[in-house]
Structure 1
Amino acid sequence: MYEAHLRSLLSPLGIYDLEEHSASGAAVCALGTGLDTVSRRLEEIEREALTATAEGEGLARREALFARRPAAVTAEDRRAAIAALLQIDGDSLTPAAIDRTIRGCGIRARALEMGGGQLRVIFPEVAGEPEDFDQIRKIILDILPCHLEVEFYFRYLTWAECEAAGYTWGQVEAAEYTWESFQLAVPPER
């Protein structure tokens, strides 16, 4: 890229032999290669310097600033989690702000104020305990103010839902449910 640019700049002067096998041509080739390398590195540094465009080193360095790594896997989700964590300040203690921060960290949860300094964290898209709950719990407890009492609420199939669906033990056995898989057979929310 830069080699062609240098050749186009120097060619009109007519004082350099710009053939590939000449000393001047080789020097232009070497300079162009060096400038291409520097240009690629600068593009990478610029990309990693901004949370919105970082893909690797920039995300890892930002995540190292926090007590726990966000529960996000893809670069896009990691960027969103970092942005959410960076928004936490003294004014972030409303249930809506806490809820946004938790979801921004890649955790599919909602925070509900229960009154009296209590907060319930629910996982509406997951039946039972979410995968990697230990990590998620630590992240949530790091995010939430220490004066709040936090209750984690997990969703399981209830007897009322079984009755409303008209389940019989015969249907449950025919579907080859185990007790563990049956209690996670929560009907989708409407």
Structure 2
Amino acid sequence: MSYAQYLKELLAPLRVYDLEGTANGRELEAEGQALDQVEDTLEEIQREMLVSTAEDRGLEAVESLLANRPVATTLEARRAALAALLRIGGDSFTLAAINDNLKGCGLNAVANETGTPGQVQVRFPDVPGIPDGFEEMREIIESILPAHVGIEYVYWYITWALMEERFETWGDIEAISPTWEELEKMVK
């Protein structure tokens, strides 16, 4: 219900005002429109002030505070990445905390200990091959992980066994004419 209608319903029981087609009615319409605009602005402010509900200006404001912008393709992934970056603190150096913080790159990145002191592996389990936007992600990952830690990036591709399950013959592969890069990433 608009505020103009609300104001008219509020005053109608008094039976003092003629609210339709009169100066009083037009005044209430104008005041109602102004209150509707205020309500819309307040709803936008309320939505944009939280990372979990922000859609544009709120996310841009948070991103302007950060050194790197997360590489995220969806609104939900962007929100999750920013929330992860905002959680980074002085005690974020356990493996679990580092993996939580790596969500800030905008893609599921997982760090694993290698057994060699000062060395970790970072992999992208949801994306075969080198992820799109990897250079931006790499900057974020390297800013999250402590500077003294060496990082080895691990990528995965289709295996011959998976290829044999998916395609019966080379003719099946040639029928879809993939490039080698496309073929390497056909894991699903």
Fold similarity call, TM over 0.5: yes
TM-score (norm 2): 0.83
Question: Given residue 7 of structure 2, which amino acid in structure 1 is its aligned partner?
Answer: L
For these two proteins, the number of residue pairs brought into alignment is: 181
Q: Which whole-Å CA distance do the structure 2 matches of 1:125 and 1:73 have between them?
A: 14
Consecutive unaligned residues of structure 2, counting only runs of 5 or more, are none
Moved more, 145-154 or 33-42: 145-154
SS in 1 for 2:102: helix
CA gap of 1:8–1:148, structure 2 versus 1, over 3 A, is same
Q: State the match for 1:107 in structure 2.
A: 107
1:97 equivalent in alignment to 2:89: no
Tell me the CA shift for residue 58 of structure 1.
Answer: 0.6
Change (3 A) 1:141 1:17: same
Where does 1:1-190 land on structure 2 (aligned, <5 Å)?
1-19=2-20, 21-114=21-114, 115-156=116-157, 162=160, 175-176=173-174, 180-181=180-181, 184=184
Aligned letter for 2:120?
A: L
Report SS of the residue matched to 1:112.
strand
Report percent identity of matched pairs. Answer: 43
- Give the TM-score, by structure 1 length: 0.82
C-alpha RMSD of matched pairs (Å)? 2.7
SS in 2 for 1:82: helix
Which secondary structure state, in structure 1, belongs to the residue aligned with residue 121 of structure 2? strand
SS at match of 2:112: strand
Moved more, 70-79 or 22-31: 70-79
**SS of residue in 2 equivalent to 1:58:** helix
* Distance in 1 between residues matched to 2:48 and 2:162, nearest whole Å: 53
Contact 1:78 1:105 in 2 (8 A): no
- Name stretches of at least 5 consecutive residues in structure 1 with no aligned partner: none
The superposition leaves residues 95-152 of structure 1 with CA deviations (integer Å, 9 ceiling, x where unpaired) of 1211122135422221112231111111223332221211111111121121211111
